[in-house]
Amino acid sequence: MRRTQVYSLCSITNYRYNIDEVSANVDWMESTPPSPTSFRQSYVDRDRVENDRFEDDRQRRIGMAIALVPFGIAMAFIVQYINIVVAIDDADWQYVLHRPNFSHILKLSPAPFIGGGLAMLFAGLIATSVAGREGRFLPYFMTAIFYAIFMPLLVSLLLPANLFILEILGLTFSERTAGEAFSSWIWSTPFFVLTYTMTGMKQAFWAGIGSMLMAIGVFRFMGPNSPQFSLSRMTLATTAIGAAVVVVVMFGPLGIFEVLFNSFRITKTG
């Protein structure tokens, strides 16, 4: 009986102590209400965190588009390389397949270099802005679609200018004057852009798909979604792989070149 009374007395004492502590806290909160500055600071901190998150996402999306540029250049080089041979074959029915003169390829390289790079940059920026950068399929497929539209359009705009510069510098077999070359450049460009774009979308689409397959492989290990994101390492990797693919197509086994040639031919025989 005595033990029960002691326990009850302790419980009452603890209860009164808790009530006194709660009352003291309530009195302190009423006497010192939160200042507007503290509320403002919490909103500022929250906005800063959100802005940092959006800025990090923006930088990663831009980095992804920049890292894709070497693939766009490589694919544009390959498409033009095959298209030159296809054009020769279409003009000469007795043509026997062989690799074109590499010096002629170099003379025409500014157009695919600039056009392919810009096409992939624009395609990557638009696709990641619409579909984000974290999807496994949609951003890459959209990039391939936009690349198939932009690449033939930009390259066809630049090729006549490329040829005009070569004529001015005397690096072609043409004997036209500068005025005639300029007139040909201006008047032939619209029709060339139309025909090149309409006939080149198939090749550009498959070039875009090939670029995205390589990009998926690279980004799996060091992509824009990686915690250790590094634009320089990622771009260096895509540049090395893109250059290796170009070398294999231009100087590797003739069978690869023949397969691409047969798939790109305008008119097929036999």
The answer to whether position 206 is within a domain reads yes
For residue 206, give its domain range: 60-264
The answer to whether position 130 is within a domain reads yes
At a CB cut-off of 8 Å and minimum separation 6, what does 22 contact? none
Percent of the chain with pLDDT over 90: 26
The answer to whether position 228 is within a domain reads yes
The answer to whether position 175 is within a domain reads yes
pLDDT (0 to 100) of residue 85 = 81
User: Is the model's pLDDT at 8 over the cut of 50?
Assistant: no
Per the structure, the count of domains in the chain is: 1
Neighbour-count burial of 145, counting CB atoms closer than 10 A to its CB (0-12 exposed, 13-18 middle, 19+ buried): middle
The answer to whether position 29 is within a domain reads no
The answer to whether position 5 is within a domain reads no
Query: Tokens standing for 228?
Result: 């250790």
Residues 174, 269: Cα–Cα separation, whole Å: 32
The answer to whether position 19 is within a domain reads no
Query: Tokens standing for 261?
Result: 């040639």
pLDDT, tens digit, 9 for 90 and up, residues 172-223: 656 666 666 677 777 777 787 888 888 788 889 999 999 999 999 888 888 7
- How is 84-151 classified by DSSP, letter by letter? HHHHHHHH-TT----PPPHHHHHHTTHHHHHHHHHHHHHHHHHHHHHH-S--SSHHHHHHHHHHHHHH
Radius of gyration in angstroms for the set of CA atoms belonging to the chain, rounded to a whole number: 33
The answer to whether position 236 is within a domain reads yes
Residues 249, 143: Cα–Cα separation, whole Å: 23
pLDDT (0 to 100) of residue 22 = 45
Band (pLDDT 50/70/90 cuts) for residue 37 is low
pTM equals 0.76
pLDDT, tens digit, 9 for 90 and up, residues 82-107: 888 877 767 666 666 777 778 878 88
What DSSP designation does 243 have?
A: H
